[in-house]
Amino acid sequence: MIDVAIFLEGQNGLNWDNWKRISRSVEDLGFAGLYRSDHFTNMGPPDKDSLEMWISLAWLADNTSRIEFGPLVSPVSFRNPIFTARMGKDIDDLSGGRFILGLGAGWQEYEHEKFGFDLLEIGPRLDRFEEGVEVVHKLLKGEGPASFSGKYFKLNEAELLPKPQRTGGPPILIGGRGRKRILPLTARYADEWNGGFRPAETFAKLNAYLDELLEAEGRRPDELRRTIANTTVFGRDDREVKRKVEERGYSEEGIEKFGMIVGTGQQIADRIGEYEEAGADRVMLQWLDLEDQGGLEALAKAVL
């Protein structure tokens, strides 16, 4: 049966006060997990609060006891995959095995320019990402010291100690929808795929294609968990839904194109059901109202 998690855009005003409050609420209200983006800043000025992701997840690991959590996703473009693997396995151990290691190639130009990181053109960027995923996989899933020689990363009989308490360390999640490179990479190395920000029909087609790729890799379909994150607008009634949609400038065309999860409790529950039929094991509702504690409680009561 599908479960429901919360996904935060950490670059849009996240600080310690609201992170602690939301984390405890997500745990207490019964959501399955809490995920957050990994960015230095929002997409353009004015810059907003953006709590450092890995430090926030270390706090979460030691201050919750039930929910799964992780980055959605941590970019190879400014996170060295060796450190990512090292921090990920230690946070997973600290949490008692609840961490999901989400990896991405990076995409947001503004933060890379502002802080001096090289995003690269799309081809080299994906080359670097493929190397990064392989490095993480070798360090966490391999037996004994690992070696790797690529253009961007190198290992020479490297081993992370202490070894992860979970065999193979935390599950590796890859986010993306590209048929030529991202999905084949997912089928080869990932334990979880997140096909975010698309309608259920698109998710279903990509999901079926992943089954074919998994078979070609000699893997069973049930070896890969399928999840979806999507923009969510929840209102207690139609008037509140309309107000929030207008405040955020969402158009009907955009809502339909990206399959945004918009509506009152029953409408959102229906949309979650559509993703379940499309093969999703978990829906991650993007919660943008970081200060709206009452709204989060109402959402939990309406859909869980």
Spans in the chain with pLDDT lower than 70: none
C-alpha dist (Å) from residue 66 to 61, 169, 184: 10, 18, 32
CA pair distance 81, 78, nearest whole angstrom: 9
pLDDT of residue 218: 97
Q: What is the pLDDT of residue 196?
A: 87
Give the Cα separation of 267 and 247 in Å (integer): 20
**CA–CA gap between residue 205 and residue 118 (Å, rounded):** 33
**pLDDT tens readout for residues 6-50:** 999 999 999 999 999 999 999 999 999 999 999 999 988 999 999
* pLDDT for position 44: 86
The parent domain of residue 269 ranges over 3-303
The span from the CA of 29 to the CA of 302, in Å, is 11
Q: What is the CATH number of the domain that holds 38?
A: 3.20.20.30
Q: Give the count of domains, the chain.
A: 1
- Rounded CA-CA distance 157/84 in Å is 18
pLDDT for the residue 125: 98
Angle at 300 between CA 304 and CA 233, to 5 degrees: 110
Report in angstroms the alpha-carbon separations of 59 from 80, 87, 140, 202.
21, 13, 22, 36
Q: State pLDDT tens for residues 229-256.
A: 999 999 999 999 999 999 999 999 999 9
- What pLDDT score was predicted for residue 1? 86
**What is the average pLDDT score of the chain?**
96
